[in-house]
Every structure is written in structure tokens, then in C-alpha cells.
């Protein structure tokens, strides 16, 4: 079991280390607000957008636009993680890859300026990221927690299967650890989950979700870089974001760090980023209007029925 936990800990280090290592707090002396500044990485670690992306044999193939590199951490402001959660067809992926580049590329692909990504993985990755964001959103909301936990664990397992990751489980391992079951034993996850959920109390469900969230935090690691800029020495704290998929996972975490997490519209179910930390139910005026209009008509019909 400790082998599993160690492996996960190395991939998803705890929040505390990340907070210490990767974010520089800059205090503005005029209004005393805390600002969070993320240092840029050297140009060779930046990511490439795609160009002329297309789909062939269940893969997205694209040329890398090496003339327009961008910084993965700075891209957070534009919300590519939210865009990704809202993709709904293969052609949406083509547009996404043209804008943000492939989720991942090998060193050879980077140097050859051309990448291929399996669509099956793209969809599995999206499902996993989205279900994780939904799990975070529902934490503490009675009625939804068990359902969201199951969704996330299934999505996480599916992504591991598609990527051929070993050991084969991440989030589910912690689910089993939290239940004090041996994660290395053979389990029929869905059956085990249903059985557990049938008897679990609300505090138990919340405890397990808290454990899973904690160990699958998607926080990026950080490091200190010592370098010379001409004759000037410089030591800087930097995020370690090696690929777009890692950066997108970190962005979900960063939404909470910045106190502006992404949310999901209760009307159209799309992911959106609220302008303030204040929780919002709907992504737009139109969605809010549609929902209140429907509620009003429902009330009216009920009143009419009562009056008959």
C-alpha cells in the first residue's frame, strides 16, 4: 500500500509545499492588497500552439506553431481549463488544439514540430478533469456528493486505463485506503462503491471525499532556479509545468488558490469562471432568466391546478 501512496504523493504533492515554493506574494504598499505573481519560465519550457490541426484515424494531428510559444502558467488568465471542460465534439478539440496546442508531446515531437494525440485520451482526460472540478464544487452539498465521488473515481480509472498508467489506480486507491481496504486486492469497483454508499453516513462520505481531494490535489510542484542574467545573479521560484495537461490540472487547483474557482451553470451545465469569489448559480443572464421563468410558470400552473 505504501508503494501506491508514495507514487501518488510524488505525482500530486501536497498543497502546502506548492504554496511555499511556487507563489510569490507581492504586497502592494498603496492599497495593501495581496497580489499573486507567477514567475514566467524560460522560453524553452513554453508550450506551442497548434496550426492546421486535423483528425485522422482517431488522432488529432497538428503542426506546432513554434513562432508563437506561450507561457503555460500565464495562460491561466484566459481560462483554457474552462474551455476544455466545455468541449463537446471532436471538431471542438481541433479548435482547442489550434489555440492551446496538444495536451502532451514527446521531446521528439517538440523538435520535429508535429504532434499526434489520441482522441480517446483527450476525452478521458476531459472527463476526469471535469468530474474532479465537479467533485470540488459539490463538497458539502448534501445529495450530490456520493454521485460526484463515483463519477470522479470512474473517470480517473478510465483515464488511467486509456493512458496505460501503472500502477493502475490513483484516486480509487485513496478511496480504498480511506475505507481501510487493500487497494492491491481485486475489486469490482462499482459493486464495492454501491455497497459502501448504501450504508455510508453523510460524515463518512464527506471524510472519504476529503481524503480523495487531498491526495489528488493536482497541485504543481515548484522549484528554485538560480541563474545569471548577464552579470546579475538571480534566484527565482518557479512552477514545474512540463506539459499542457499538467498545466490544466494545476489551473483547477489555482482557481481555489486565487479564491475564484470555476463553477458549473445549474441551467446549461457549462463550466464558467465567476468574476468574483461570490458563488453564482448561472453562467449568464440568459440562463438565470430561463431558470426563473420556468420556476414562475411551474408555480403558476400549480396555483391554477389548486384553483380548479
Write out the binding residues for Zn ion, residues 38-97 only, by CB under 5 A: none
CB of 4 or CB of 272, closer to Zn ion: 272
DSSP SS3 for 251:
helix
Q: What is each CA distance from 247 to 170, 221, 261, in whole angstroms?
A: 19, 11, 15
Cβ 273 to Zn ion shortest distance, Å: 13
CB of 197 or CB of 265, closer to Zn ion: 265
Cβ 127 to Zn ion shortest distance, Å: 20
Q: Which residue has the cell 389548486?
A: 306
Cβ 201 to Zn ion shortest distance, Å: 34
CB of 35 or CB of 289, closer to Zn ion: 289
45-53, 127-135, 261-269, 294-302 -> range binding Zn ion (CB under 5 A): 261-269
Euclidean distance between CA atoms 17 and 37, whole angstroms = 17
What residues pair up with 59 in beta bridges, in sequence order?
A: 56, 118
First to last CA, the chain: 65
Euclidean distance between CA atoms 131 and 48, whole angstroms = 27
Cβ 260 to Zn ion shortest distance, Å: 18
CB of 76 or CB of 272, closer to Zn ion: 272
Among 268, 274, 288, 291, binds Zn ion (CB under 5 A): 268
Euclidean distance between CA atoms 236 and 227, whole angstroms = 8
Residue 265 touches Zn ion, criterion: CB under 5 A: yes
Phi (first) and psi of residue 236, to 5 degrees: -130, 150
Cβ 155 to Zn ion shortest distance, Å: 22
49-57, 125-133, 214-222, 286-294 -> range binding Zn ion (CB under 5 A): 286-294
N residues, the chain: 308
Q: How far is CA 215 from the centre of its chain?
A: 14
CB of 191 or CB of 275, closer to Zn ion: 275
CB of 98 or CB of 262, closer to Zn ion: 262
Instruction: Pick left, alpha or beta for residue 107 (phi over 0 → left; psi -120 to 50 → alpha; otherwise beta).
Output: alpha
What residues pair up with 26 in beta bridges, in sequence order?
A: 35
Phi (first) and psi of residue 51, to 5 degrees: -145, 145
Phi (first) and psi of residue 68, to 5 degrees: -125, 60
CB of 216 or CB of 287, closer to Zn ion: 287
Residue 267 touches Zn ion, criterion: CB under 5 A: yes
State the number of binding residues for Zn ion (CB under 5 A).
Answer: 5
Cβ 222 to Zn ion shortest distance, Å: 35
Residue 288 touches Zn ion, criterion: CB under 5 A: no
63-71, 99-107, 220-228, 257-265 -> range binding Zn ion (CB under 5 A): 257-265
Degrees, nearest 5: CA angle 238-240-242:
135
102-110, 204-212, 247-255, 275-283 -> range binding Zn ion (CB under 5 A): 275-283
CB of 248 or CB of 287, closer to Zn ion: 287
Among 38, 103, 133, 287, binds Zn ion (CB under 5 A): 287
DSSP SS3 for 239:
strand
Q: How far is CA 205 from the centre of its chain?
A: 22
- Binding residues for Zn ion (CB under 5 A): 265, 267-268, 283, 287
Amino acid at each position: 500500500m505504501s508503494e501506491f501512496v508514495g507514487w501518488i504523493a510524488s505525482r500530486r504533492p501536497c498543497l502546502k509545499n506548492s504554496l511555499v515554493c511556487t507563489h510569490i506574494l507581492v504586497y502592494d504598499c498603496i492599497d495593501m492588497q495581496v497580489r499573486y505573481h507567477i514567475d514566467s519560465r524560460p522560453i524553452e519550457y513554453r508550450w506551442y500552439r497548434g496550426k492546421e490541426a486535423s483528425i485522422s484515424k482517431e488522432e488529432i494531428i497538428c503542426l506546432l506553431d513554434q513562432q508563437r510559444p506561450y507561457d503555460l502558467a500565464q495562460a491561466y488568465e484566459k481560462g483554457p481549463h474552462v474551455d476544455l471542460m466545455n468541449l463537446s465534439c471532436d471538431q471542438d478539440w481541433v479548435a482547442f488544439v489550434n489555440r492551446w496546442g496538444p495536451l502532451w508531446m514527446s521531446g521528439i515531437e517538440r523538435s520535429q514540430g508535429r504532434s499526434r494525440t489520441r482522441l480517446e485520451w483527450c476525452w478521458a482526460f476531459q472527463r476526469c478533469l471535469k468530474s474532479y472540478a465537479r467533485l470540488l464544487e459539490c463538497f458539502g452539498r448534501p445529495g450530490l456528493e456520493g454521485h460526484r465521488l463515483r463519477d470522479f473515481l470512474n473517470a480517473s480509472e478510465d483515464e488511467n486505463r486509456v493512458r496505460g498508467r501503472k500502477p493502475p489506480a490513483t484516486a480509487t486507491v485513496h478511496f480504498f485506503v480511506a475505507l481501510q481496504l487493500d487497494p492491491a486486492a481485486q475489486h469490482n469497483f462499482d459493486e464495492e462503491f454501491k455497497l459502501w454508499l448504501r450504508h455510508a453516513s453523510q460524515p463518512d462520505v464527506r471524510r472519504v471525499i476529503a481524503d480523495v481531494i487531498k491526495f489528488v490535489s493536482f497541485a504543481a510542484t515548484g522549484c528554485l532556479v538560480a541563474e545569471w542574467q548577464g552579470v546579475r545573479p538571480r534566484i527565482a521560484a518557479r512552477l514545474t509545468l512540463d506539459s499542457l495537461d499538467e498545466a490544466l490540472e494545476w489551473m483547477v487547483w489555482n482557481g481555489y488558490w486565487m479564491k475564484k474557482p470555476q463553477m458549473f451553470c445549474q441551467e446549461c451545465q457549462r463550466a464558467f469562471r465567476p468574476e468574483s469569489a461570490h458563488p453564482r448559480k448561472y453562467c449568464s443572464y440568459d440562463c438565470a432568466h430561463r431558470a426563473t421563468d420556468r420556476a414562475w410558470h411551474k408555480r403558476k400552473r400549480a396555483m391554477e391546478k389548486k384553483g380548479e
